[in-house]
A and B are shown apart, each in its own frame.
Chain A
Amino acid sequence: MKRKMWIWIAAGFGGLLLLVFIALSVLAGSPKDAYGMVRYALPHMHRGNLRVGDEAPDARVLALDGTQRFHIRERLNQRPLVLVFGSFT
């Protein structure tokens, strides 16, 4: 009796996982994309704690020439600064 119950629980859990994977595949576009999202995207996606009104954090970044560095906040120059974060791909 107990064994039967565990089989049902395992089957239910497996079915739930399958449903989640199917839903992710639909959301992402394909099973390969669902895997990519879970394996590569989710670990790097963070909401962060920064809020409107907070002091903007600073970071030292590299210029396009690959040699000079500057602090993000150096670019304020008493004007609002728009920061556009992204990559090529």
Chain B
Amino acid sequence: MYVREAHPTDEWQMKSNVKDDVCYAQPKNLEQRVAIANDFVKRFQFPLPFGIDDMNNRANDAYAAWPERLYIVDERGRVVYRGGMGPFNYHPAEVREWLAAKFGAVERPKEPGATPSSTTPDGETKKPAV
């Protein structure tokens, strides 16, 4: 879920943004958000479904998401994991652990774009929904 930029050029830009050539101004409209989100997906060959928050930041406000945060919502629509506020408390390993407990150990894909597969303790192969 794409939310407002954390370190745009016209706000608090970091040296690492310049070094990594990730220099964008804070989007002023939805078209600019869509363009940046597409740049991100293209650059990292991001394989997962993608959503872009609207300019009213509804998703961001509902989930206190900025600058980055992880959640897991279970099948019944309940929050079962709420990660800490990034970047210092952003721990993807905790999500991986939750998924491993539910679906079995996740084998990380070697190539970008590959879908991870997992094996449950009973030997059944599953693909987690992300």
Residue ranges of A at the interface with B (Cβ–Cβ < 8 Å): 33, 36-37, 39-41, 44-64, 66, 70, 72-73, 75-89
Query: Across the interface, which residues of B come within 8 angstroms of A86, CB to CB?
Result: 1-3, 6, 65, 67-69, 86
Closest residue of A by beta carbon distance from B10: A40
Interface pair B79/A89, CB less than 8 Å apart = no
Among A53, A62, A77, A83, the residue within 8 A (CB) of B71 is A83
Query: Across the interface, which residues of A come within 8 angstroms of B3, CB to CB?
Result: 85-87
Q: What per-residue 1/0 map shows which CB atoms of B8-32 lie under 8 Å from chain A?
A: 1001111001000011100000110
Give bound CA distance, A31 to B6, whole Å: 18
Most buried by B among A47, A50, A54, A83: A83
Interface pair B63/A57, CB less than 8 Å apart = yes
Interface residues of B in 55-109 (CB under 8 A from A): 58-75, 77-82, 85-86, 95, 99, 102
Residue ranges of B at the interface with A (Cβ–Cβ < 8 Å): 1-8, 11-14, 17, 22-24, 30-31, 33-34, 36-41, 48-54, 58-75, 77-82, 85-86, 95, 99, 102, 128-130
Interface pair A45/B66, CB less than 8 Å apart = yes
Among B23, B54, B65, B102, the residue within 8 A (CB) of A80 is B102
Interface pair B63/A87, CB less than 8 Å apart = no
Among B24, B63, B69, the residue within 8 A (CB) of A89 is B24
Interface pair B51/A62, CB less than 8 Å apart = yes
Query: Across the interface, which residues of B come within 8 angstroms of A48, CB to CB?
Result: 63-64
Query: Across the interface, which residues of A come within 8 angstroms of B49, CB to CB?
Result: 75
Interface pair B77/A33, CB less than 8 Å apart = no
Most buried by B among A57, A62, A88: A88
Give bound CA distance, A39 to B10, whole Å: 12
Give bound CA distance, A83 to B98, whole Å: 13
Apart from A45-B66, A70-B51, A89-B23, what are 7 other A-B pairs with CB-CB below 8 Å?
A53-B78, A57-B63, A60-B54, A63-B52, A82-B70, A86-B86, A89-B8
Query: Across the interface, which residues of B come within 8 angstroms of A88, CB to CB?
Result: 2, 5, 22, 24, 36-37, 39-40
**Minimum-distance CB pairs A-B, first 5:** A48-B64, A36-B12, A85-B65, A61-B51, A79-B129
